[in-house]
Amino acid sequence: MYYLKSEHSFDAAHFLKDYCGKCHNLHGHRWRVIVELKGEKLSEEKQTRGMMIDFSDLKDAIRGLCDHLDHCLIYEKGSLKEKTVDALQDEDFRLVEVPFRPTAENFSRYFYEELAARKLPVHRVEVYETPNNCAAYEGR
């Protein structure tokens, strides 16, 4: 079995609605995303012979997802009042609404599913919210 790993990071703010603690408040992280692919076979095509996939293709896919979330406020749909969203947009802040609570656990699944939808053989995704706190999601 072959495994490949690649990582990228992004800086973004979030908050956890209905959380009783510090994370209820708007705060930011340097989110670190580590993606692991798994495969039994290597390519026999000329350009990628001896590779599971080209690392640059993997890096581009991860970077694209991270760049979409970089330097913005990520918030769960329905967690902000409409007038708050309007005011932030009026200030020209970049907002990214997601359909899940923006936790490291949910981000690990989000990245996994997005990369799997691109036909990458994703095995595991780890998302570090801080240097010491990580959540992971693995396919079945």
> pLDDT for 86-122, tens place per residue?
999 999 999 999 999 999 999 999 999 999 999 999 9
Domain-embedded: residue 124: yes
Q: Is the pTM of this model over 0.85?
A: yes
> Which contiguous run of DSSP H or E holds residue 28?
strand 27-39
Q: In this structure, is residue 60 part of a structural domain? A: no
Range of the domain at 95: 2-54+67-138
**16 located within any domain:** yes
Write down the pLDDT at residue 140: 74
Instruction: State the pLDDT at residue 72.
Output: 98
Structural domain count of the chain: 1
Report the pLDDT value the prediction gives residue 17, as an integer from 0 to 100.
96
What pLDDT is recorded for position 21?
94
Q: Given this model, what pLDDT does residue 126 score?
A: 98
Asked whether residue 87 is assigned to any structural domain, the reply reads yes
Residue 24 three-state SS: helix
Instruction: Report if residue 59 sits inside a domain.
Output: no
Catalytic residues: 23, 71, 129
* Residue ranges of the chain with per-residue pLDDT less than 70: none
Give me 38's structure tokens.
């798994």
Q: What φ, ψ does residue 122 adopt, rounded to 5°?
A: -70, 135
Which domain CATH number covers 131? 3.30.479.10
pLDDT at position 42, please? 95
Domain assignment present for residue 115? The answer is yes
Residue 54: Cβ within 10 Å count? 12
